[in-house]
Amino acid sequence: MECIRGKTSAGIDAAGLAAGYDDVLIDVGTGDGRYVMHVARTRPSWFAVGVDACRENLRKASRRAPANALYVIANALALPKELDGMASKVTINFPWGSLLVGLLDGEPGLLEGLLAIARPGAALEVRLNAGALADAGYTLESGDTRVRRALHAGGFEAGDPVWLDARDLRRCHTTWAKRLAYGRDPRAVCLRGRLGSHSVLRDCA
Ligand SMILES: C[S@@+](CC[C@H](N)C(=O)[O-])C[C@H]1O[C@@H](n2cnc3c(N)ncnc32)[C@H](O)[C@@H]1O
C-alpha cells in the first residue's frame, strides 16, 4: 500500500500505526485531506486515514499530518487489502468521477472494498452534492435513491436522507463543502447508516 508524507511515498503498515487507537476513520476520496486532519486533531483517540487516487491533492496535508493521521494513494474501486477490517467509520464526502459513478452504479469493486475495510457495525456517511449528480445525469433526489439502493445491495443500510443547504455545508469540515456552500448550487444530501444495521443517526452536518 502506498502512503504519502509530503514528497515521499512508501509502504507503511497502517494497521500497526492504528493499533492502540479506539476507532479508525477511513475517508474515501479525501481530496486535500482536510476532513482527516480535522478528525485527527479534534479526536485524539481516533486514527484517521484519507484515501485518494490523486497524489498531488495529498501532498500538503500529508506533510503536516499528526501521528494519528495517514494518507494513502489508492483507487477507491480497488482499495488496498491492508485496510481490511480497520474502519469503525467510513466517509465519502462529495465524490465525483469514477467514485461517484461507482456509488451510483453499485460498482462491485467499490462496494466490496467498502465492506472489506469496515469493521462489523461500522458507521457510513456519504455526502452527495447536486452539481456532481447533475453532471452524472441525476437530480439530488434520484441520485440519493440510486446510491441508497446500491449501498443496500452492498450490505450498508442508510437511514432517511438528510438534505443539506449552504448553512449546513459551511459547517462541514471539508474543502469541497466550503466551496459548494458559496457556489451556484449549494444543495447536498447526506446518507448516514451502518454496515448491516438499521440504527441510523440523523445529524449529518
Ligand atoms: C470533489 S472532490 C471532494 C474531496 C473531499 N472529499 C472534500 O470534500 O473536499 C472528489 C475527490 O474524489 C476523488 N476520487 C474520484 N474518483 C476516485 C477514485 N476512483 N478513487 C479515489 N479517489 C477518487 C478525487 O480525486 C477528488 O479528490
Domain count, the chain: 1
Residue 70 lies in a domain: yes
Residue 113 lies in a domain: yes
Which pLDDT score is estimated for 199? 39
Residue 201 lies in a domain: no
Which pLDDT score is estimated for 200? 40
For residue 53 and ligand 1, the question of a CB distance below 6 A is answered with: yes
Q: Is the dihedral of CA 34, 13, 96, 7 positive or negative?
A: positive
Give strand pairing partners of 51.
Answer: 28, 72
Residue 204 lies in a domain: no
Which pLDDT score is estimated for 5? 73
The closest-lying atom of ligand 1 relative to the alpha carbon of residue 93 is 6
Ligand 1 centroid to residue 113 C-alpha, Å: 16
Which pLDDT score is estimated for 62? 85
Residue 184 lies in a domain: yes
Which pLDDT score is estimated for 205? 52
Question: CA-to-CA distance for 98 and 157, rounded, in angstroms?
Answer: 22
Residue 123 lies in a domain: yes
Which pLDDT score is estimated for 196? 61
Q: Whose CA is nearest to atom 27 of ligand 1?
A: 31
10-residue averages of pLDDT along the chain (205 residues): 76 84 97 96 96 91 90 96 96 98 97 95 97 98 97 91 98 97 97 68 46
Q: What is the CATH number of the domain that holds 148?
A: 3.40.50.150
Which pLDDT score is estimated for 201? 40
Domain that holds residue 102: 2-195
Residue 202 lies in a domain: no
For residue 146 the three cell numbers come to 440510486
Report if pTM > 0.75. yes
The closest-lying atom of ligand 1 relative to the alpha carbon of residue 172 is 8
3-class SS letters over the chain: CEEEECCEEEECCHHHHHCCCCEEEEEECCCCCHHHHHHHHHCCCEEEEEEECCHHHHHHHHHCCCCCEEEEECCHHHCCHHHCCCEEEEEEECCCHHHHHHHHHCCHHHHHHHHHHEEEEEEEEEEEEHHHHHHCCCCHHHHHHHHHHHHHHCCEEECCCEEECHHHHHCCCCHHHHHHHCCCCCCEEEEEEEECECCCCCCCC
Question: CA-to-CA distance for 205 and 192, rounded, in angstroms?
Answer: 11
Residue 200 lies in a domain: no
